[in-house]
């Protein structure tokens, strides 16, 4: 049974990689920007964020880092470099929110900078998409 599971996992990975660099990166861009928007909405609504709930916001960056590792042969591409910057910014935003959550800071004070960072992520995502088109 473990051999079958391993074979299935390898087939699924091959299927994902077959889709190609640009297609997979586009999915990551969508997930990261949508998750950033959701995080801003949660902060704006003043709903409580828990340590466990932060995993929902950390996980997309972890997956994006895995993508970068899988496609490190593309590191010379402008889109790869820009995407790396986007992931760095996304992680910084999530870490800032988590630090504020842990310190029980007032969310209202954080919202303007958080909104600006989300807008910056959206702009970076647009730049990555444009670079992807130029790369192909």
Task: Let me know if residue 4 belongs to a domain.
Answer: no
Task: Let me know if residue 114 belongs to a domain.
Answer: yes
| Cα distance between residue 90 and residue 29, in whole Å | 11
Please say if the pLDDT value at position 131 is more than 50.
yes
Would you state the pLDDT for residue 7? Answer: 45
Task: Let me know if residue 9 belongs to a domain.
Answer: no
Asked if residue 76 lies in contact with residue 118, where contact means CB atoms within 8 angstroms, the answer is no
Q: Which residue has the higher pLDDT, 92 or 47?
A: 92
| pLDDT tens readout for residues 2-40 | 555 444 444 455 444 445 999 999 999 999 999 999 999
Task: Let me know if residue 51 belongs to a domain.
Answer: yes
Residue 78 lies in domain = 20-135
Task: Let me know if residue 13 belongs to a domain.
Answer: no
Task: Let me know if residue 10 belongs to a domain.
Answer: no
| Cα distance between residue 32 and residue 61, in whole Å | 7
| pLDDT tens readout for residues 81-110 | 999 999 999 999 999 999 998 988 877 788
Average pLDDT over residues 52-68: 96
The number of beta carbons lying within 10 Å of the beta carbon of residue 57 is 22
Task: Let me know if residue 43 belongs to a domain.
Answer: yes
Say what the pTM is: 0.83
Task: Let me know if residue 11 belongs to a domain.
Answer: no
Would you state the pLDDT for residue 15? Answer: 46
Domain count, the chain: 1
Specify the CATH number for the domain of residue 125.
1.20.120
């Amino acid at each position: 049974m473990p051999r079958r599971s391993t074979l299935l996992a390898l087939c699924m990975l091959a299927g994902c990689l077959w889709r190609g660099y640009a297609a997979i990166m586009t999915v990551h861009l969508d997930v990261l920007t949508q998750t950033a928007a959701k995080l801003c909405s949660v902060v704006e609504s003043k709903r409580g964020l828990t340590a466990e709930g932060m995993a929902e916001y950390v996980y997309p960056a972890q997956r994006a880092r895995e993508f970068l590792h899988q496609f490190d042969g593309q590191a010379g591409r402008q889109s790869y470099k820009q995407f790396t910057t986007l992931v760095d910014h996304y992680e910084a935003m999530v870490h800032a929110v988590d630090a504020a959550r842990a310190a029980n800071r007032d969310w209202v004070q954080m919202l303007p900078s958080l909104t600006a960072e989300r807008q910056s992520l959206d702009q970076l995502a647009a730049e990555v998409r444009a670079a992807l088109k130029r790369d192909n």
